[in-house]
Amino acid sequence: MIQINNNNYKCNKYKDNSCKDNLMPVRYLNTNSWFSFRNINLGRSYSNKDQGTSIYKYKSIGQASIEFVLILPIIIIIIIGVSQLGYYIYCKNILAHAAREGARVLATTNSNSLAIQQIQKNCNDLEIQMLDININPFSEINRFPGGLVEIDISYKYGGIGDFLTIIMGRDIFIKGTCLIRMEC
């Protein structure tokens, strides 16, 4: 049982130390030292103004920082994954649009060089040297009005900063295809 007159415990409510439920340990602090607890907020502080001492109720500090450090790599991986997926969808959309435009030019002009120029013009946001363009049938002689022409575009996708190539250990290819009837 704790005695009220003991010097290690003081009541922080009444001067006559008559409260037995609110006893808290007294911390006597040396305010002349180079390090003082008075300058640091360690949680809820109670002051005993009679003797000029403070009573601190210690809490665990830094818990939120530790939790943030533990969760930070997971958050970074999620952000990188979402950005990679967004860039993949963006590239897929560009290739589909370029194949459609190249097929339209090919169907109206029957010229491979004009179709390839149109495809490269539509893929100006991508690296042109990573594009592989296939026209089937390739020969202009084998095409006739009403016949089908297929344009396949494949793009070597490594992700932003070739991140996916490093992770997967192989190249990833995105394809864009368009099938159209010849008009001339």
Backbone angle region of 62, left / alpha / beta, with phi > 0 → left and psi within -120 to 50 → alpha:
left
The rounded Cα 129 to chain-centroid distance in angstroms is: 29
Per-residue pLDDT tens over the stretch 108-163: 999 999 999 999 999 988 888 999 999 998 888 888 888 999 999 999 988 877 87
Provide the CB-side half-sphere exposure for 5 (13 A, CA).
0
Per-residue pLDDT tens over the stretch 74-83: 999 999 889 9
The answer, as to whether pTM is greater than 0.75, is no
**Buried b or exposed e, range 84-122, using 16+ CB within 10 angstroms:** beeebeebeebbbebbbbbbbbbbeebebeebbebbeeb
Residue type, 50: D
